[in-house]
Structure 1
Amino acid sequence: MTDFATSTAPTDVVRRQYLASATRDLEALRATLAPDVEWTEMAGFPLAGTYRTPEGVTGNVMEKLGADWDDWTAHDDTYVTEGENVVVLARYTAVNKATGRSIDVRVAHHFVVRGGQIVRFEQFVDTAKVREAMA
């Protein structure tokens, strides 16, 4: 049996990323990301854009989510894996700090994992629901 903490299997790497995100462990999260990672937040999402480097991802996405939202969590529900591709059906829950409004919105994430690290990420989410909680 392979140890989950050190496994390079794509699904295990992505699961470690979600666990690190849920516990706000940015160092562990960065460890799942390749040095040249491309992390794309969907157009229309408050943090829309493509970020590179593990520090770029955590600084421009995770830290900003933490600054604007209480208890931002990506709940990873279903994994579909084919080779280096991992698609996760999930949901975001959080409370916007400025408005006090909450979200519970479905999302899909597409990860590409190579050599035991995430090299690419793309987010798909109902951005209108997120923006509605911010207004």
Structure 2
Amino acid sequence: MGLNHADENAPVAVVRRQYLASAAGDLEALRATMAPDVEWTEMAGFPLAGTYRTPAGVTGNVMEKLAQDWEGWAAHDDTYVVDGENVVVLARYTATHRQSGKPLNARVAHHFTVRGGLIVRFEQFVDTALVRDAATAG
């Protein structure tokens, strides 16, 4: 049974598309999942901590920088909890830091708010100490 257009705009489908685009390194497809006024927040203590706006602002300040600093950065989505326009995804980050050579394997939670088939808000929750340790030489 194929998805109809309404299903493609369902919050869970939009969020899943975001992970698939990210995994494929397709920044154009990734930007297409975000509202023009998206607010994307990386957690305090994370190397890229802050709130970024606009799809180009998000990919330029988050995904492109992660690719520069980390080899094979990936967010593996495994559990979706959906409540209306809210989608919480439990996932795992894996990567190797390019400078330290250390691996990262950390659990993470992502909270997306989806309206009209687009991500309007994102907030990341992660053990930032694990990320910092992996990025630190020694």
Q: Which of the five TM-score ranges fits, normalised by the shorter chain? A: over 0.9
Q: Which runs of 4+ in 1 moved over 4 A?
A: none
Partner of 2:79: 78
* Partners of 1:3 and 1:121 in 2: CA distance: 25
Match for residue 102 of structure 1? 103
For residues 35 and 71 of structure 2, what CA distance do their matches in structure 1 show?
28
Secondary structure of 2:59's aligned partner: helix
Q: Distance in 2 between matches of 1:104 and 1:134?
A: 12
CA RMSD of aligned residues (A): 1.1
Amino acid at match of 2:21: A
Structure 1 partner of 2:90? 89
List gaps (5 residues or longer) in structure 2: none
Paired residue total: 134
Q: Which amino acid aligns with 2:133?
A: E
Cα deviation, residue 2, structure 1: 1.7
Shift of 1:3: 4.6
How far does residue 22 in structure 1 lie from its aligned partner after superposition?
0.4
Residue type matched to 1:60 in 2? N
Structure 1, unpaired ranges of 5+: none
Task: Output the TM-score relative to the length of structure 2.
Answer: 0.95
**TM-score, length-normalised on structure 1?**
0.97
Q: 1:3 to 1:74 in 2, by over 3 A?
A: farther
2:61 aligns with 60
Q: Does 1:115 align with 2:116?
A: yes
1:132–1:31: structure 2 CA closer, same or farther, 3 Å change rule?
same
> Which moves more between the two structures, 6-15 or 34-43?
6-15
